[in-house]
Amino acid sequence: MPDPDRSGGHFLRLDQLHGSLADPAMASMNFLNEVAIRFPDAISFAAGRPTEDFFDIADVHRNLDVFVDHLCRERSLTVEEARRTVLQYGRTKGIIHDLVARQLAVDEGIHVPHESVVVTVGCQEAMFLVLRALRSDPQDIVLAVSPTYVGLAGAARLVDMPVRPVQGGHRGVDLDDLRTQVARARRAGLRPRALYVIPDVANPTGISLDVDTRHELLRVAAAEDLLILEDNAYGVFAGEQRLPSLKTLDSDRRVVRLGSFAKTVLPGARVGYVVADQEVRDHGVGVSLLADHLSTIKSMLTVNTSPLAQAVVGGALLTHGHSLLTANRRESDVYRRNLSLMRAGLERHLAPFADRVSWNTPSGGFFLTLTVPFKADDALLERSAEEYGVLWTPMSHFYTGDGGIHQIRLSFSQGTPESIETGLGRLASLIGACC
Ligand SMILES: Cc1ncc(COP(=O)(O)O)c(C=O)c1O
């Protein structure tokens, strides 16, 4: 039926499109990007992007060659077969699944069958696949440690899966609140399927779970019959004292591991993965891996992850003995230097407000949290960009409800010593004006 309000050509009504499109939370990324674009000269502590100091097109060519050579030598493919493997449509689960499994074994002591790895278009696709599979009816919900990465909340919104927050607290996950939220959800007739958590130098807070909390979390997950969705996007940069990942400690196949090569190899490649070694039983008749089912979803979403992009990542893994720790020595040094500059700079620049502001001290990663006595919202970010020339992220963007209004996420992955120094000076001026 034509709409009477119609004034021009064909149009669509927002209220007749998927509900996520009218959800303000979905626009959060766009807002933050748009502020950055409008104020290009502002110093940014906002973007969570890896350093570009070592980006090199020659590496892309080299890694591609290394991977093709590997196909011929190690997998005994002919030149024609190798060419087809990287240039033709490919296996849905990916062509570097074995290399990803090796990397997990080498760097993290995770031993999983190669078949349990699905190589995805970034970690973002991995989240979508898992949530799509877990959300079978409207009672299914996912729990997420709050504040949480916006990509998880967005993916859940796209599959109509409500996200219930679990307090992070000072340990990175409040296990009493986890039990409370599970019980509350079940009383309301809901079915909590999984808890999403970033155990190492989390985005946005920079907090890491200590070892005892990791063990306890696995015990609670078993007792409450929950899966854990472990996102380890920054684990390689966790600092000197890296702790065992949840998947390393998982003896019960409770943990679905979500990974990204965006920070550790190349963001432009858009390659991530999911390890889903859980068994799926079909009324006791057949047994398959959750990874097989994620692959079925993927076959109808992105068909396969670009084999060329996978080859570049695969070549990088081969070059560095399957170790992302080794591959990222130079990058880790930059992030470590920047973190210590941030800590020293905050001490100095914010000394006059020491009784009113505080910040945490992550062991590594890209982010830290600054707590302030005033509202650090989108309006203040705009003012900060326009009047003070410094960008940061209001922590409220990472909360599903209210929360984080007095907190700021500061990213230090991309700064130079000079920009960090100048940026913190500008931030101190803003804080001085607001305190
Ligand atoms: C915690 C976390 N997970 C996943 C991602 C996204 O990974 P990818 O770029 O591989 O989709 C990010 C990116 O910022 C992140 O911070």
Q: Do 23 and 157 belong to one domain?
A: no
Cα–Cα distance between 124 and 98 in angstroms, integer? 21
Residues 217/198, Cβ–Cβ less than 8 Å: no
pLDDT reading at 51 higher than 50: yes
**In the structure, what pLDDT confidence band is assigned to residue 4 with cuts at 50, 70 and 90?**
low
Measure 150 CA to ligand 1 centroid, in angstroms: 9
Q: Is the CB of 128 under 6 A from ligand 1?
A: no
Q: Do 172 and 94 belong to one domain?
A: yes
Cα–Cα distance between 3 and 7 in angstroms, integer? 9
**In the structure, what pLDDT confidence band is assigned to residue 240 with cuts at 50, 70 and 90?**
confident
Report pLDDT digits (tens) over 171-226. 999 999 999 999 999 999 999 999 999 999 999 999 999 999 999 999 999 999 99
Average pLDDT over residues 15-39: 88
Q: 355: which residues sit within 8 A by CB, 6+ positions away? A: none
Cα–Cα distance between 191 and 137 in angstroms, integer? 9
Q: 167: which residues sit within 8 A by CB, 6+ positions away? A: 145, 146, 173, 174, 177
Q: Do 88 and 141 belong to one domain?
A: yes
Probe target for ligand 1 pocket from 124, 201, 234, with the most ligand atoms within 8 Å of CB:
124
221 lies in which domain range?
60-325
H/E segment holding residue 141: strand 140-146
Q: Is the CB of 413 under 6 A from ligand 1?
A: no
Q: Do 233 and 197 belong to one domain?
A: yes
Pick the closest to residue 145 from 212, 200, 215 (CA basis): 200
pLDDT reading at 24 higher than 90: no
Model-level pTM? 0.96
Would residue 5 count as lying in a domain?
A: no
Measure 124 CA to ligand 1 centroid, in angstroms: 6
Report pLDDT digits (tens) over 80-100. 999 999 999 999 999 999 999
Q: Do 108 and 233 belong to one domain?
A: yes
Final residue belonging to a domain, choices 278, 298, 325: 325
Predicted local distance difference test score (pLDDT) of residue 1: 47
pLDDT reading at 6 higher than 90: no
**In the structure, what pLDDT confidence band is assigned to residue 27 with cuts at 50, 70 and 90?**
confident
In a 13 Å sphere around the CA of 166, the CA atoms on its Cβ side amount to 28
Report the interhelical angle of 57-73 vs 79-87 (nearest 10°): 130
pLDDT reading at 384 higher than 80: yes
Residues 155/205, Cβ–Cβ less than 8 Å: no
Average pLDDT over residues 5-28: 87
Probe target for ligand 1 pocket from 130, 203, 257, 310, with the most ligand atoms within 8 Å of CB:
203
In percent, how much of the chain has pLDDT > 70?
98
Q: Do 239 and 196 belong to one domain?
A: yes
Would residue 3 count as lying in a domain?
A: no
Looking at residue 49, which CATH number applies to its domain?
A: 3.90.1150.10
Predicted local distance difference test score (pLDDT) of residue 285: 74
Please provide the average confidence, as pLDDT, over all residues in the chain.
Answer: 95
Looking at residue 235, which CATH number applies to its domain?
A: 3.40.640.10
Predicted local distance difference test score (pLDDT) of residue 395: 96
Predicted local distance difference test score (pLDDT) of residue 99: 98
How many domains does the structure of the chain reveal?
2
Report pLDDT digits (tens) over 260-308. 999 999 999 999 999 999 999 988 778 999 999 999 999 999 999 999 9
Q: Do 172 and 299 belong to one domain?
A: yes
Final residue belonging to a domain, choices 325, 344, 373: 325
Would residue 2 count as lying in a domain?
A: no
Average pLDDT over residues 117-127: 98
Report pLDDT digits (tens) over 131-183. 999 999 999 999 999 999 999 999 999 999 999 999 999 899 999 999 999 99
Final residue belonging to a domain, choices 269, 299, 325: 325
Q: Do 214 and 321 belong to one domain?
A: yes
Q: Is the CB of 262 under 6 A from ligand 1?
A: yes
**In the structure, what pLDDT confidence band is assigned to residue 3 with cuts at 50, 70 and 90?**
low
Long-range CB pairs of 134-140 (<8 Å, 24+ gap) are 134/161, 134/193, 134/194, 134/227, 135/159, 135/160, 135/161, 135/193, 139/189, 139/190, 139/191, 140/190, 140/191, 140/193
Q: Do 139 and 255 belong to one domain?
A: yes
Predicted local distance difference test score (pLDDT) of residue 322: 98
Predicted local distance difference test score (pLDDT) of residue 82: 98
Average pLDDT over residues 223-235: 97
Q: Do 321 and 422 belong to one domain?
A: no
Q: Which atom of ligand 1 is nearest to the CA of 260?
A: 10
